[in-house]
Chain A
């Protein structure tokens, strides 16, 4: 097992330095579907989260529980549902999204929506209720108040969007069923092969070191993103620009 890991790291370096455009395209495609999916999900998730977090209505607990449950929906189940809806015989076949990258992005958007809704609604709900009153007493309208509250909980929202990105980045079911892992020729939209389906493919061929190498690349990106966010959070704690400059100067000097 240890030798496979060592080989995998070597393979990972090989893949990245090979200059094969299709490999880079695979990485970009994964970023595309996860990124576009997360941003698209925000469009409807944030308003729903505002409704859930800041307003009270009958049966609110049912809706909250519903979204909480959907966070962990198996990607293959959602992928199957998307396939049935997007195929020629399906209701949304005319959208022509099956076996395209945008189809996967749409699937990812649906996948991560419960996540964004739940996390954001929670953050908004537990945010200082006083802040809402404060904004209102200072003369803010309903919409302005909500915007201010969103800005106040912006960091939680960014974290939830990052979590959404990670989920879309590493999911397999939707990419397989909606994308069919079509090989491209080096440009992003020429195919639908992403990192996760590449791992599955290489495993199927018995090329375990290459499969693991893709896995390493995937994890490296996820970890890099998490560390960047951690760093930003740490810098935020201090006071603005002054600290950031010191930090970078310190790096150069040491």
Chain B
């Protein structure tokens, strides 16, 4: 049984502005899918719909070939925001929040948190006030928090945007190490080089539409659509 998340003909508008115009795509377990696109293309909106935080105006969401609603989506997905959000408690409580909801026993929580912090090179930070850390540290905490939950679908919105190259590479390694057949990883970014490094599949979004979807090698060497070609060549104007 393979893990699959399918979006069929998703439309979403805010008042007069159409954010997503008939988006259909398919994601498989064991792969990292990168949503590529310029700012404002609709990546975040799509991520939020996939995370079950917002309802699409029309269209279908299928998880393992079954219709799924927002509430259930939230149980199986975890989204890491572009700008990380922290509760006003300490780092331990922030990380433990999701685990407590899932009724993980206390000793396990302690161990898992310690491991997660180590993975993002923040060992020993448990007692610190989460809001009192730097932007980059907060992002790593947010990622650790998402990793901890071991959801079937991991959604990351610009995960390394605020990080220095060293931290960014640590995070990328951590993300890649999370690949497994029972996990779908989706990353939204406009960072071409990062996409090239870690993606298995590329989905290029522009103006709320999918202009191209291909595996990473084909996308970069042989982009079929005009827009994608310009994007890859760095010629697209924002």
From the candidates B78, B83, B102, name the one contacting A137 in the complex (CB within 8 A).
B78
Q: Is B53 an interface residue (CB 8 A)?
A: yes
Cross-chain contact A139 with B88 (CB below 8 angstroms)? no
Cross-chain contact A139 with B85 (CB below 8 angstroms)? no
Name A138-157 residues within 8 Å CB distance of B.
Answer: 138-141, 144, 148, 152
From the candidates B48, B71, B101, name the one contacting A138 in the complex (CB within 8 A).
B101
Q: Is A3 an interface residue (CB 8 A)?
A: no
Q: Hey, which chain B residues are within 8 Å of A148, CB to CB?
A: 87, 97
From the candidates B48, B71, B87, B101, name the one contacting A134 in the complex (CB within 8 A).
B87
Q: Is B129 an interface residue (CB 8 A)?
A: yes
Q: Is B125 an interface residue (CB 8 A)?
A: no
Interface SS majority for chain B: mixed
Q: Is B74 an interface residue (CB 8 A)?
A: yes
Q: Is A219 an interface residue (CB 8 A)?
A: no
Cross-chain contact A138 with B85 (CB below 8 angstroms)? no
Complex Cα spacing A152 to B74, Å: 21
Q: Is A235 an interface residue (CB 8 A)?
A: no
Cross-chain contact B53 with A140 (CB below 8 angstroms)? no
Q: Is B81 an interface residue (CB 8 A)?
A: yes
Best-surrounded residue of A135, A136, A137, A148 (most CB of chain B within 10 A)? A137
Q: Is B149 an interface residue (CB 8 A)?
A: yes
Q: Hey, which chain B residues are within 8 Å of A133, CB to CB?
A: 48, 53, 79, 81, 85
B139 to chain A, nearest CB (A): 13
Using A133-B53, A152-B88 as known contacts, say yes or no to A140 and B101 having CB atoms under 8 A apart. Answer: yes
Instruction: Closest B residue to A139 by CB, please name it.
Output: B101
Cross-chain contact B87 with A137 (CB below 8 angstroms)? no
B63 to chain A, nearest CB (A): 15
Complex Cα spacing A130 to B52, Å: 14
Complex Cα spacing A153 to B66, Å: 38
Cross-chain contact B88 with A144 (CB below 8 angstroms)? no
Q: Is B140 an interface residue (CB 8 A)?
A: no
Complex Cα spacing A207 to B102, Å: 66
Q: Is B204 an interface residue (CB 8 A)?
A: no
Q: Is B145 an interface residue (CB 8 A)?
A: yes
Cross-chain contact A138 with B78 (CB below 8 angstroms)? yes
Q: Hey, which chain A residues are within 8 Å of B79, CB to CB?
A: 133, 137
Q: Is A131 an interface residue (CB 8 A)?
A: yes
Q: Is A233 an interface residue (CB 8 A)?
A: no
B198 to chain A, nearest CB (A): 22
Q: Is B223 an interface residue (CB 8 A)?
A: no
Complex Cα spacing A144 to B83, Å: 23
Complex Cα spacing A90 to B101, Å: 49
Complex Cα spacing A141 to B102, Å: 11
Using A130-B83, A133-B81 as known contacts, say yes or no to A138 and B98 having CB atoms under 8 A apart. Answer: yes
Name B41-97 residues within 8 Å CB distance of A.
Answer: 48, 51-53, 71, 74-75, 77-79, 81, 83, 85, 87-88, 97
Complex Cα spacing A145 to B48, Å: 17
Complex Cα spacing A152 to B89, Å: 9
Q: Hey, which chain A residues are within 8 Å of B98, CB to CB?
A: 138-139
Name A36-86 residues within 8 Å CB distance of B.
Answer: none
Best-surrounded residue of A139, A140, A148, A152 (most CB of chain B within 10 A)? A139
Complex Cα spacing A130 to B85, Å: 6
Cross-chain contact B78 with A134 (CB below 8 angstroms)? no
Cross-chain contact B75 with A152 (CB below 8 angstroms)? no
Q: Is A239 an interface residue (CB 8 A)?
A: yes
Q: Hey, which chain A residues are within 8 Å of B145, CB to CB?
A: 138
Name B87-139 residues within 8 Å CB distance of A.
Answer: 87-88, 97-98, 101-102, 129
Complex Cα spacing A144 to B102, Å: 12
Best-surrounded residue of A131, A134, A138, A144 (most CB of chain B within 10 A)? A138
| Sampled A-B contacts (20; CB under 8 Å) | A130-B81, A130-B85, A131-B85, A131-B87, A133-B81, A133-B85, A136-B53, A137-B51, A137-B53, A137-B74, A138-B78, A138-B98, A139-B75, A139-B102, A139-B149, A140-B101, A141-B71, A144-B101, A148-B87, A152-B88
A residues sitting closer than 8 Å to B (CB atoms) are: 128, 130-131, 133-141, 144, 148, 152, 239
Which 10 A/B pairs are nearest by Cβ-Cβ distance?
A: A138-B98, A130-B85, A134-B85, A137-B79, A139-B101, A133-B53, A137-B51, A139-B98, A136-B74, A138-B97
